[in-house]
Amino acid sequence: MNIKRETFGQTPDGRDVILFTLANGQNMVVKIMNYGGIITAIQAPDKDGNLADIVLGFNTFKEYQDGHPYFGALVGRYANRIAQGRFALNNQTYQLAINNGPNHIHGGISGFDKVVWEAHEFMNGAEAGVELQYHSRDGEEGYPGNLAVKVRYSLNDNNELRITYQATSDKPTIINLTQHSYFNLSGEGSGDILDHEIAINADSFTVVDADLIPTGEIRSVKGSPLDFTTPYRIGDRIQNVPGGYDHNYVLNKSQNELALAAQVRDPKSGRRMEVYTTQPGIQLYTANFLDGTLGGKSGKAYQKHGAFCLETQHFPDSPNQPHFPATVLQPGETYDQVTVYKFNV
């Protein structure tokens, strides 16, 4: 195991942006910067031992600053959507930033993906990692409470990237953190992911309206193109899903249990990815809004369906859906979630 740190850029207010490179004994490499907690690269071997970078992203900090659809980012305070950016807590209504049509998404205009986190590396015999910390002020993007957040990324020799999230608040608030990497197991810029095979350990999903806001209904996936209880090619039925997959799955697991949520296999490279989480849901997103206007690390344009995301999470709009798992964090409590991405062939 080893770690390297280097300066990757500088923010307009003069803060250094640091890039951390984690490497294990299996030739796997993960690169993370303290700006947005962004994973800028994951290099993993294929069935023949050849390395490829399997996440979308850019070569320079300026490209990340110029705007992108959350490539590799830590997302918060609340991942996914909140209807009309509004929720009530303890008889008080809070109005959040509106940044996705009429709704709020991924923490707002300047969410956790656009801030510089305090960061330091750590290493022991079993893992190498980076710990990130951020203090989100009371009222930031409309959220109540001073929120202290700590996120740890660690890589081990089993090719497991473990992400541990913790947070505390001095006021009742809501929280839902996730990691928003865009994966292509054939390598970023190599084309679409429609031949990737995926299985999701979920018998049901949260139904959404035209703005992708949950209606409140939890519906069985059986007999629908959203059924991945057995492996399917992503492209097999995507034409029957208007716009492509962008759905929250209700995982078959008990609360706070670290359990297998999804598996993905790329037949071409032989790479496999497993996702384990303590979260109750996972969002499958097939990069429906990529349109070729963004060029990536290999110099190739990122096209529609050029990647998939598996965002472990609480359900969208949970603060307005009383029967969804609660996302309220009270003073004296600790928000504590774990997600593991494991890679093999």
Positive or negative torsion for Cα 66, 68, 70, 75: positive
Burial of 79 (0-12, 13-18, 19+ CB in 10 A): buried
pLDDT value at 62 more than 90: yes
- Given pLDDT bands bounded at 50, 70 and 90, which one contains residue 236? very high
- Given pLDDT bands bounded at 50, 70 and 90, which one contains residue 125? confident
Q: Which residues are catalytic?
A: 180, 311
pLDDT, position 319: 98
Please state, as a whole number, how many other Cβ atoms lie within 10 Å of the Cβ of residue 203. 15
Alpha carbon distance 114, 117 (integer Å) = 9
Fold (CATH) for 2-344: Beta-galactosidase; Chain A, domain 5 (2.70.98)
Element (H, E) at 335: strand 335-344
Q: What is the mean predicted confidence (pLDDT) over 60-76?
A: 96
pLDDT value at 268 more than 90: yes
The pLDDT mean for the chain works out to: 97
pLDDT, position 14: 94
pLDDT, tens only, 7-37: 999 999 999 999 999 999 999 999 999 999 9
Q: What is the mean predicted confidence (pLDDT) over 214-243?
A: 97
**Of 258, 121, 263, which is closest to residue 183 (Cα–Cα)?**
263
Question: Quick one: tokens of 6?
Answer: 């280097």
pLDDT, tens only, 299-328: 999 999 999 999 999 999 999 999 999 999
Burial of 299 (0-12, 13-18, 19+ CB in 10 A): exposed
Give CA angle at 221 (188, 336), nearest 5°: 65
